[in-house]
Amino acid sequence: MKPPSQLQPLIEDGIIDSVVRRLRSGKEATVFVVACGKQVRCAKVYKDATQRGFHRLAEYQEGRKTRGSRDARALKGGSRHGRELAEAQWKNAEVDALFKLDRAGVRVPTPYGVFDGVLLMELVSDAEGGPAPRLGDIHITPEEAREWHAFLLSQVVLMLCAGIIHGDLSEFNVLVDATGPVIIDLPQAVDAASNNNAFALFERDVNNLRDTFGRSAPELLATHYAHEIWALYSAGTLSAASPLTGEFTFDETAADVEGVLAHIEEERQLAEERRLRLAEAAS
């Protein structure tokens, strides 16, 4: 196929040899299958901010480091310089998270580097060598649901121990290769220690997994892993070896009415996003 303009510099510099085909286009980026010598890899081309459909960007950018007070003011004020900084932060967040999580042993695509703003990474393959399907596109047996849910919880724990929360983890951001789930799409990754929305984002990630696998293994729907894991993290005792039960005793002395209403609105937005994604996948 004819290389898109964003990938032409990588061909000219000999980083990739050719573009095989477009693999997937989502709300944040378009991913292409590319040839690099005898290897086949993925090239992720990020969409411009005006084209992205991702909502609540400020919620994710909170706590991300800036080089100085001028940059912080620019980000807050929304100037041209601030918008350029926000765009760079958005792209760099995934790159930084991928390298950090790869070192931590989390199952993410192996990153190979960033070239002219394009992320080059491993092509996650199925048993036949083709691109691996998304979790939401395959039938899951009850046994697979229990096994993969436990595995992804262990990955979420490893991520949190590394100080990172995915922020948009769902059946659409997990691929299933020949050996199991692989977590993808991390431009919205947040720092667990510096973002005030950290727990809300973490809870949503974990509950998305619970709801997805709970469709095949209904007993998972009664679990409360998000609160259990976060309590261990907050106490400084969370590790990859921490035993998890899915049980948690809630403090019901005071009702958080605003929190409940915010959660209802968030779930409504998520349902709408899921409807749009399903419609996009079917088209």
Domains of the chain: 8-250 (1.10.510.10)
Say yes or no to pLDDT of 277 above 60.
yes
pLDDT of amino acid 79: 64
As a whole number, the mean pLDDT across the chain is: 87
Distance CA(101)–CA(90), nearest Å, equals: 17
pLDDT of amino acid 273: 79
Say yes or no to pLDDT of 150 above 80.
yes
pLDDT of amino acid 85: 67
Tens digit of each residue's pLDDT (9 = 90 or more) over 29-41 = 999 999 999 999 9
Burial (CB count <10 Å: 0-12, 13-18, 19+), residue 201:
buried
Measured distance between the N- and C-terminal CA atoms of the chain, rounded to whole angstroms = 21
Say yes or no to pLDDT of 51 above 70.
no
Distance CA(47)–CA(9), nearest Å, equals: 17
69 or 212, greater pLDDT: 212
Per-residue pLDDT band at 123 (split at 50, 70, 90): very high
User: Quick one: average pLDDT of 204-215?
Assistant: 98
Per-residue pLDDT band at 75 (split at 50, 70, 90): very low
Per-residue pLDDT band at 67 (split at 50, 70, 90): low
User: Quick one: average pLDDT of 150-176?
Assistant: 97
Beta bridge partners of 115: 118
Is this model's pTM higher than 0.85 or not? no
User: Quick one: average pLDDT of 53-72?
Assistant: 54
pLDDT of amino acid 30: 95
Per-residue pLDDT band at 203 (split at 50, 70, 90): very high
Q: Which of 40-54, 197-211, 225-239 has the lowest mean pLDDT?
A: 40-54
User: Quick one: average pLDDT of 104-128?
Assistant: 94
pLDDT of amino acid 74: 45
pLDDT of amino acid 62: 56
